[in-house]
Amino acid sequence: MAFSRSSMLALAVTSLVSGASAQLETCSNTNTFSCQSSSTNPTCCFNYPGGALLQTQFWDTNPSTGPTDSWTIHGLWPDNCDGTYESSCDSARAYTNISDILTAQGRTDLLSYMQNYWVDINGDDESFWAHEWGKHGTCINTIDPSCYTNYSSQEEVGDFFQKVVDLFKGLDTYQALSAAGITPSSSKTYTLSEIQAALTSLHDGASVYLGCSSGSLNQVWYFFNVAGNAIDGQYQAVDTLTKSNCPSSGIKYVPK
């Protein structure tokens, strides 16, 4: 179950960065999931208004990016519970030096992973990361600097990128499709329902958003509600809030 997998990841991450001086507040509301409570009070332990966290992925083929046998990371977006979203929430924290920040924090393994799996279609990874952080990351209220004890500059930036990568590692879209017989092909096509079934099974029974461009599958978004903060909290898979733009059949899944 993604539930327990996420809890274990959270523990692993905590111990990995235990040398760091900054720490997010410990949350006790472990059963109060975002978008499942009537509360409209954003706190360091309750994601609001962006209570639907989406781990989004790309399958880029024109040009191809990333490994031929893996999807790549798009980001982690705090959507509102109705599928609308806020963006670019704090221009003062819209950093453009993400690589420098991660390096200064000693997160070099994370940076190397991102260079392989979080790649920009035009080759400008640094701008892509800055865009994802500035547009979406700064809107996650539970990682505001005020939520840290003994905050050190840009600590939340490193926490954000690490969390996105950890979530992505638990959502191997390529493998899940492949296990269902859905493999990249220049001749075969697939139905929306068979693709949805394969990824719903990966996502603990919750439906996913599938995105197409010119009839070719190129995006998937995994929706979660979170209890606690966005870094150490429990992630629960929930159904997509956004309807697919793919045709119901004849969907191409083009090789990289």
Ligand X SMILES: *[C@@H]1O[C@H](CO)[C@@H](O)[C@H](O)[C@H]1NC(C)=O
Contact residues: ligand X, CB under 6 A:
21, 95, 97, 100-101, 104, 150, 152
Q: Which is nearer to ligand X, 102 or 176 (CB)?
A: 102
Least Å distance between CB 161 and ligand X?
A: 14
- Choice among 132, 155, 156, 203 that is catalytic: 132
Find the radius of gyration of the CA atoms of the chain.
Answer: 18
3-state helix, strand, coil in the chain (%, to 5): 35, 20, 45
**Distance (Å, whole) CA 247 – CA 41:** 39
Q: Which is nearer to ligand X, 95 or 113 (CB)?
A: 95
CA 146 to mean position of chain CA atoms: 23
Could you say which DSSP state residue 25 is in? P
Least Å distance between CB 22 and ligand X?
A: 7
**Distance (Å, whole) CA 56 – CA 76:** 6
Q: Which is nearer to ligand X, 149 or 201 (CB)?
A: 149
Position with the least CB separation from ligand X = 21
Least Å distance between CB 141 and ligand X?
A: 21
Residue 136 designated active-site: yes
Q: Are 168 and 224 in contact (CB under 8 A)?
A: no
Residue 131 designated active-site: no
Least Å distance between CB 16 and ligand X?
A: 17
Element (H, E) at 221: strand 216-227
Residue 156 designated active-site: no
Token digits of residue 153: 């500059």
Q: Which is nearer to ligand X, 114 or 212 (CB)?
A: 114
Beta bridge partners of 75: 56
Least Å distance between CB 241 and ligand X?
A: 34
Decide: residue 123, CB within 10 A, 0-12 exposed, 13-18 middle, 19+ buried.
Answer: exposed
Q: What does the DSSP assignment read for 58-82?
A: E--BTTB-S-TTS-EEEEEEEE-TT
- Choice among 131, 136, 155, 203 that is catalytic: 136
Q: Which is nearer to ligand X, 152 or 178 (CB)?
A: 152
Element (H, E) at 203: none
Active-site residue numbers? 74, 132, 136
